[in-house]
Chains A and B, each alone.
Chain A
Amino acid sequence: MTDTLLRTSSLTKRFGGLVAVDSVDLEVKAGEIRGLIGPNGAGKTTLFSLLSGALRPSGGRAFFSGTEITRARTHQIVDLGLVRTFQRSAVFHGFSVFENVLLASFRHARETPLGILFGNRGRTHQECRERVHQILQFVGLSSHENEPSEVLPLGHQRSLGLAIALATRPTLVMLDEPAAGMNNAESAGLADLITRMRTELGTTVLLVEHDMKTVMDVCDTISVIDFGRIIAEGTPDRIANDERVIEAYLGKENWEEELRG
């Protein structure tokens, strides 16, 4: 379980004169739940975009399970088993909840031209549908299967976003502020879900989150990013008392407030 799954070496992204991600060296081991925190605009989402292939880095390299992904396209990276969720609630509008997750398992359904023309779907397709039911049950959306995705309450839309990501059968999921817009009960449920993703699905998690309580509760290790640089890394306890982190969050008072949520 100590294999490195995701590794970046001096990964950099510049937008004109602004260095959004500044030579980041990050190493995520298989099976861990890693938190990535930092003040607003620190470069967390940019880092996700670089790793998921939505943005091309200006410098440095990235590897996922031994394969270089620095310049790979998003769908190729997903094929390798690295998938991200979005801050905005990203679901396919105009499709039902079930269809959303089925679409996300599109690559695993392996439709053939003959299957399409003569409607003989085969076993892989059947297995896919079964898996969709399982995933919806896992995130707790079973009872909403046939509802159109766009009328779901925000919390459910975020769960659906997670289900969509899980349907691609990832080894590592990058969660971009999954608790945003959730109430306390919902974010407690989310924390439980993230832990179960590791124990039941064997998924490694990279978590960007502003809700410090969730981060401190579920993460094994936390990396703190500020002005595009990793300024600290360690267990939740150590991070909570780290001088550099307190400074990045504008002093002790602010930081303690963040921790209390």
Chain B
Amino acid sequence: MNHQAAKQPSQTTSDEAAAVGGPASRGPTRAIISYGILIAIIAALYLVPGMVGYYQVELLSIFVLNCLVVASYRLTTTTGDWGLHHIILMGVGGYAAALGAIHFDLPILVTLPIAGVIGGLVAYIVAIPLTRTRGFAFFIASFAIGEFIRLSWLAFTEPFGGPHGLSGIPSPSIFGIGLSDPRNFLYFMTTIVLLCLAALYRIDKSLTGSAWFAVQKDEPLCESVGIDATSARRWALTLGGFFVGIAGGLFAHRLGAIDAKNFQLTIMIYLVIWAVVGGTRTIWGSILGLAVMTLIYEGTRPLEDWRPLIFGGVLIATLLLLPNGLESQVERLLPNLRRRRGRP
């Protein structure tokens, strides 16, 4: 009896690396495969731009930026809130960075954190009324609030530039290296996005991240063990706004211009499709969804008029056939890579 009691704690401390969200069985094979894939992807992200033309660099830039957009959106969905204002928060960060760079000549390493903080701040403010709603009401209310912000960019020529938006954002540089070259900017952007993804991963693995998941699963039970569900939802939305604000800042600096058309509902719908197709249980799932949909998007260039139909079809097919997204299939194919048994 005593022996058993002493043995129990040490068993679970061995997978101490994982908080609540950690894998239940972390075999050495699993670790090697996961780290191998991760290192290969990171290496590819830094090596590929040097080997391809400017068109491919452009595509890769959009993809890398969208990784951060979809991963931050996925964070807000962990508490069960599917909003339609996420892309607007990206715009908020973008406008903040653009205004800072144009009017105050701030360097990019200053405008990006500002974009994040302003994005998070606006996300927090709109989360106060939004978290009083749930489900469909949340969906619609977040759309209304998003439109309110988007239309105010159009309505105010000063400072937002009205329908023409803002242009002439000075081309950024860090430590004397000019980032006006798309390739250099891609290297810089990849670095920032990877840092943000690492932070998002840590949040996901923390006890706080698990508590957010628990809010999605069973809100009354969360409250009854002392987890403030409303505050959890607000924090998830705020942090989502912070990271997508940074993405918005990167977006504005990359193009040197920004306007309200970049943050329309169509793009928000794409974002929802990426997340649904990939699945939102893990960060990697949502990025997988983005990758697959980007391939479909590029593959259907000759059929441009048919794209909404094709995307709608893919969305419906996913909801019917893979309600937990592509990530659920990846796990079935590679049982070694299976994460915790839990979280369906």
Binding partners A and B: yes
Q: Mark B203-238, 1 if CB is under 8 A from A, else 0.
A: 100111111011001101101111111000000000
Q: Is the CB of B207 within 8 A of A111?
A: yes
The answer to the question of B29 belonging to the interface, with a C-beta cut-off of 8 Å to chain A, is: no
Cβ distance A43 to chain B, nearest Cβ, rounded Å: 19
Interface size on B, residues (CB 8 A): 37
Q: Is A87 an interface residue (CB 8 A)?
A: no
Cβ-defined partner of B208 (8 Å) among A90, A92, A116: A116
Stretch at the interface among A31-39, A59-67, A102-110: A102-110
| Interface 0/1 of A194-206, CB less than 8 Å to B | 0000000000000
What chain B residues lie within 8 Å of A91 (beta carbons)? Answer: 221
Q: Does A162 contact B (CB under 8 A)?
A: no
Does A172 sit at the interface, judged by CB under 8 A? no
Q: A46 contacts which chain B residues (CB < 8 A)? A: none
Contact B217 A78 (CB under 8 A): no
Q: Report B-chain residues with C-beta under 8 Å of the C-beta of A95.
A: 20, 210, 214, 342-343
| Shortest Cβ gap from B233 to chain A (Å) | 13
Kindly count the residue-residue contacts between A and B in the assembled complex, taking CB atoms under 8 Å apart. 118
Chain A residue numbers with a CB within 8 Å of B220 are: 54, 74, 90
- Given the contacts A96-B340, A99-B342, A145-B12, A104 and B217 also touching, CB distance less than 8 Å: no
Expressed in whole angstroms, the Cα–Cα distance for A73 and B231 within the complex equals 12
A79 within 8 Å of B (CB atoms): yes
Complex: A170 Cα to B208 Cα, angstroms: 21
Q: How far is the CA of A241 from the CA of B211 in the complex (A)?
A: 48
Residues of B within 8 A of A185 (CB): none
Smallest CB–CB gap between B39 and chain A, Å? 19
9 examples of A-B residue contacts, CB within 8 angstroms: A54-B220, A74-B224, A78-B224, A86-B224, A92-B221, A93-B217, A94-B213, A111-B207, A119-B17
Residue of A whose beta carbon sits closest to that of B344: A94
Name the A residues within 8 Å of B227 (CB-CB). Answer: 75, 103, 106-107
Q: How far is the CA of A249 from the CA of B44 in the complex (A)?
A: 75
CB contacts (< 8 Å) of A104 on chain B: these are 225-226
Q: Given that A54-B220, A75-B228 are contacting pairs, would A94 and B5 also be in contact in the complex, using a CB cutoff of 8 Å?
A: no
B8 touches A137 (CB 8 A): yes
Question: With a CB–CB cut-off of 8 A, which chain A residues contact B211?
Answer: 103, 106
Tell me the residues in window 165-219 of chain B with beta carbons closer than 8 Å to chain A beta carbons: 199, 202-203, 206-211, 213-214, 217-218
CB proximity of B97 to chain A, nearest CB, Å: 23
Chain B interface main SS type: helix
CA distance A86 to B225 in the complex (A): 11
- Rounded to whole angstroms, the CA-CA distance of A52 and B199 in the bound complex is 36
User: Which residues does B use to contact A, with CB under 8 Å?
Assistant: 4-5, 8-9, 12-13, 17, 19-20, 24, 199, 202-203, 206-211, 213-214, 217-218, 220-221, 223-229, 340-344
The contact of B203 among A78, A116, A164, by CB within 8 Å, is A116
Interface of A is mostly: helix
How far, in angstroms, from A78 to B218 measured CA to CA in the complex?
16
Bound: A90/B217 CA distance, A:
11
A133 within 8 A of partner (CB): yes
Please indicate the chain B residues that have their CB under 8 angstroms from the CB of A53 in the complex.
223
A102 close to B20 (CB less than 8 A): yes
- For residue A83, CB closer than 8 A to chain B, the reply is yes
Within the assembled complex, what's the spacing in Å between the Cα atoms of A118 and B202? 8
Of all chain B residues, which has the CB nearest A107?
A: B226
* Per-residue contact bits, chain A 127-163, to B (CB 8 Å; 1 contact, 0 not): 0011001000100001001101000000000000000
Contact with B along A219-249 (1 / 0, CB 8 A): 0000000000000000000000000000000
Instruction: Assess A164 versus B225: contact at CB under 8 Å? Given A94-B342, A96-B341, A133-B9.
Output: yes
Knowing A74-B224, A102-B20, A102-B207, say if A94 contacts B8 (CB, 8 Å): no
A168 within 8 Å of B by Cβ? Answer: yes
A96 to B12, CA, bound (A): 12
How many Å lie between the Cα of A32 and that of B291 in the bound state? 60
Residue of A nearest to B281 (CB): A94
User: In the complex, how many angstroms separate the beta carbon of A36 from the nearest chain B beta carbon?
Assistant: 18
- Bound-state CA distance A165–B214 (Å) is 15
Complex: A146 Cα to B343 Cα, angstroms: 14
B302, chain A: closest CB distance, angstroms = 43
| Bound: A107/B223 CA distance, A | 11
Q: A52 and B207: CB pair below 8 A?
A: no
CA distance A74 to B225 in the complex (A): 8
B208 proximity list for chain A (CB < 8 A): 106, 111, 116
- Chain A residues with CB under 8 Å of B5's CB are 137, 142
CB distance from B343 to the nearest CB of A (A): 5
Nearest first, the 4 A-B pairs at minimum CB distance are A78-B226, A74-B223, A104-B225, A94-B342
Nearest CB in chain A: distance from B243 CB, A: 13
Give A121 to B4 CA distance when docked, in angstroms.
26
